[in-house]
Structure 1
């Protein structure tokens, strides 16, 4: 079973429905024990970085997230959930993230329309099981005003362009985050959720 973490910020039901559409059961939970019982975990999210971290702390979910990752279970961060996986964000000041990966979350450069909203192409930089059956230059749906700048280029799985190239998918093996919304990205977005489900099945 897949746990979708509810920390009061996010489009949770649409992620759950996307997984159900490709044949995988998922439950929405804010209970750390329920998160730990899952075979795979998704951290979604929409909103402000600092508020999200505060909500995760108040819900005692941070230790559960670290334990899931230490156990090697498939883990997927989506949009804000992806940004939270990094060390810090400059949104509204300087705020510490989960620090799962080294790197910072930065505001889109001045002169660019924010938020970056709509369909954009992915350029796949390296293979990952999450992208099996997804061609490079496929389009996915983005809504964001900040982007991730990994400190380690080896973490960059795919990029997208918005006047400059930014990291759209980062991670390694079964620990991955995506800036776009797969649950809103039509058939190829559902393919990514299906690939995540397949990883969970293998655990």
Structure 2
């Protein structure tokens, strides 16, 4: 099996690729639609601004490809900004349309009594412990760096939160579409375990 890491010009692609390889999974960093569609699972990483990322995706036509991946039933994981792109809209530097794969919006931390960006190790709290991502995993700490956070419109899409003066969306999922606000490859043993869980889902989906 091969995991496709979507290359649209914004993301820590090589660090994600190396993490997957350390877990025993082969990856390809690509912007080729046919390679992405033929992969067992797809990772959509992202760093930077929401509007810029969506512009890159649209210009390359990869926004359509990612939506096709989601409709195909193939496991898809958005990481950091990549998770935020799964939602309908973001207010980062104006109003921007996202991929619309999960209903909801991305908003800025209000700040004031707490620092923005949210940066540091925070413990996950599962809000849907039955998710296959958490199979055999106890709640643990992961590393966050973000100034905007997602507000899912459907309660059932929220799989895990963390506390940063408020409940903050950490992991989302609906069907075959998942998202993690933190970078699992930079989040120690817990992050790598969660990434492994997703890759195993992709491996299992291929066998069906």
TM-score, normalising length from structure 1? 0.96
Secondary structure of 1:187's match?
Answer: helix
Cα distance in 1 for partners of 2:136, 2:185 equals 16
CA distance in 1, matches of 2:158, 2:50: 21
In 1, are the aligned partners of 2:20 and 2:26 still within 8 Å (CA)? yes
Which residue pairs with 1:73 in the alignment? Answer: 74
- 1:130 Cα deviation after fit: 1.5
Give the superposition deviation at 1:27.
Answer: 0.9
Matches of residues 124-143 of structure 1 in structure 2 within 5 Å? 124-126=126-128, 127-136=130-139, 138-143=140-145
1:140-179 CA-partner distances (Å, limit 9, x unpaired): 0111000000111111100011111111111124311010
1:18 corresponding residue in structure 2: 19
Whether the 8 Å contact between 2:102 and 2:174 is mirrored in structure 1 is: no
In the alignment, which residue of structure 1 is the partner of 2:5? 4
Matches within 5 A, 1:150-161: 150-161=152-163
Distance of 1:121 and 1:171 partners within structure 2: 18
Does structure 2 retain, via aligned residues, the 8 Å contact 1:35–1:41? yes
Q: CA deviation at 1:134?
A: 2.2
| Superposition deviation, residue 34 in structure 1 | 1.5
Q: Shift in Å at residue 202 of structure 1? A: 1.1
| Structure 2 residue matching 1:202: 3-state secondary structure | helix
Q: CA deviation at 1:189?
A: 1.1
CA RMSD of aligned residues (A): 1.0
> Unmatched 5+ residue regions in structure 1?
none
Q: TM-score, normalised by structure 2?
A: 0.94
Residue 188 of structure 1 and its aligned partner are, at CA, apart by 1.5
What is the number of equivalent residue pairs in this alignment? 202
Q: Which residue of 1 aligns with 2:188?
A: 186
Report how far residue 190 of structure 1 moved.
1.0
